[in-house]
Amino acid sequence: MELFAGGGGLAMGVHRAGFRPLLFNEFNKRACETLLASAGRTLGDDGLSETRETAPVPPGVGEPAPLYPGDVRDLDLRKFEGEVDVLAGGPPCQPFSAGGVAKGDEDKRNMFPAVFNAVREMKPKAVICENVRGILRPSFSGYFEYIRNELRLPFMERDPRKSWQEHNGALMEALGDPDPNQHRLDIDGGLPADDRSTDRYRVIAFPVNAADYGVPQVRNRVVIVAFRADLGLEIVNEFAAHVKRRRYSDDALVRSMRDGSYWERHDVPPHVKERVMARLPKVREDHCLPWRTLRDAIKGYGTDEELPALPEVDLTRLEEKHDFGGKRFPGHVGWPGARIYKGHTPNELDRPAKTVKAGVHGVPGGESVMELDGRFEDLASPDGWRYRHRYMTVRETARVMTFPDEWIGSGPRGEQMRQLGNAVPVVLGEFFARAVADALDAAGQ
């Protein structure tokens, strides 16, 4: 089951990991349109069917999954009890992000309580949540620990007259003396090793950089995963050991540039290669694959599945907002007005893209602006040259988020960029969903 589905990034990742969707929920009208428009192409043949039922029932095998386009707090999910292997979702991140004013629990957009309620009603075997790294700030440390404790004991329901701090105190008392490792994110010390309760969960959290998992973008997030306690402690240990192994690295990217393997797949002007090579730092040896870059994504090497290169964007046609992609590459539309100024440096083609942002950030300045290979003489520049730049297209941004080219965003450009900025990269979601699937398989579930 997918709550806060947005543009569908996490949903696609979970589906690719082998799970059959039972229900999607999303509040934003445009995002719902995107889910419906892209479902058949990106979520399998069964697709989605919109419903207004606040007490939906699980679909049968081969039937489309219902999409509830409304407030998750209105949903009655009790008919899904015992039917759900994985509850997935990224509760709105604005309450914990700098761009969202970071009000945390005070923010009315805080939807973690809705996640707790869904767990109570359905008792899923596992839960996957994603949120911004800001939730780990010292100012939110108490509430983040409360989130983990509430997930551990979801059936100790909070009295609406009590503050979260009061309820957290009751949860900690019920958990007993915490393990000294409890405050390490990747270790669950909240439950005894022999606890096999069906109404308690073992919770672990991982700070992640999406680039370390094969996403052509530096995107720092937190992934929270919970397993029902009756599945045993071993399932948590196996899952943690699997996801902590780093697979891609910046060091490996630098080595691939030095040994020439990176440049073998990219035909660039000599001055571009010389400029990049002159900046390379010293690196350590590791056994990782190279970080994927923005150039990789645009040229079709941004995921394990090789894609065709996106068509070139003619800078002379930006003002007319020309569509360079057609039906094959939807959203590959040039956009005028890109600027670079202090504090807003552009994306570099031979690095992973900067974090795709949404919300109050929009797409101004250096955010979603890319520096190109073309240059012109500028005596005011330190080396006598200035490189051209432009806005990234929606399709290029979708590639950076590892969405398939079949994904079609609904609404104007700004709305599509917002959906992408709020999404979970598909490759990142798939990695964690596969790790959960493998752990459930190993536990005979």
Whole-angstrom CA distances from 291 to 296, 299, 361, 400, 405 are 10, 15, 26, 12, 21
The phi-psi region of residue 8 (left if phi > 0; otherwise alpha if psi is between -120 and 50; otherwise beta) is left
User: What DSSP element (H or E) covers 372?
Assistant: strand 369-377
Residue 39, pLDDT score:
82
Report yes or no on whether pTM surpasses 0.85. Answer: yes
Whole-angstrom CA distances from 218 to 76, 157, 267, 344 are 37, 37, 24, 16
Domains annotated for the chain, with CATH where assigned, are 2-247+424-442 (3.40.50.150)
Residue 137, pLDDT score:
84
Residue 188, pLDDT score:
64
pLDDT at position 429 over 70: yes
DSSP annotation of 213 reads: G
Residue 350, pLDDT score:
98
Question: Other CB atoms closer than 10 Å to residue 100's CB: what's the count?
Answer: 20
Instruction: For residues 351-368, give the mean pLDDT.
Output: 70
Sorted by sequence, the CB contacts under 8 Å of residue 378 that are 6+ apart come out as 384, 385, 386
- Cα separation of 335 and 313, whole Å? 10
Q: What angle do CA 167, 173, 177 make, to 5 degrees?
A: 140
Q: Dihedrals φ, ψ of 59, to 5°?
A: -75, 155
* Residues recognised as catalytic: 93
- Cα separation of 177 and 354, whole Å? 42
Of 442 and 264, which is predicted with more confidence?
Answer: 264
**pLDDT confidence of 104, banded at 50, 70, 90?**
very low
Q: What number of CA atoms fall less than 13 Å from residue 375's CA on the CB side?
A: 16
Residue 221, pLDDT score:
93
**Coil, strand or helix at 317:** helix
**pLDDT tens digits for 293-323?**
999 999 999 999 999 999 999 999 999 999 9
Residue 100, pLDDT score:
43
Residue 32, pLDDT score:
94
Q: Do 189 and 373 touch, CB atoms closer than 8 A?
A: no
Task: Average the pLDDT over each of 48-57, 103-112, 335-344 and give the range with the smallest value.
Answer: 103-112
Q: Can you read off the two tokens belonging to residue 357? A: 């942002």
**pLDDT tens digits for 39-54?**
877 777 778 899 999 9
DSSP annotation of 365 reads: T
Q: Do 324 and 334 touch, CB atoms closer than 8 A?
A: yes
* pLDDT above 90 as % of the chain: 71
Instruction: For residues 163-167, give the mean pLDDT.
Output: 89
List, in sequence order, every residue forming a beta bridge with 130; answer none if it has no partner. 223
- Cα separation of 142 and 115, whole Å? 18
**pLDDT tens digits for 190-234?**
788 888 999 999 999 989 999 999 999 999 999 999 999 999 888
Mean pLDDT of the chain: 89
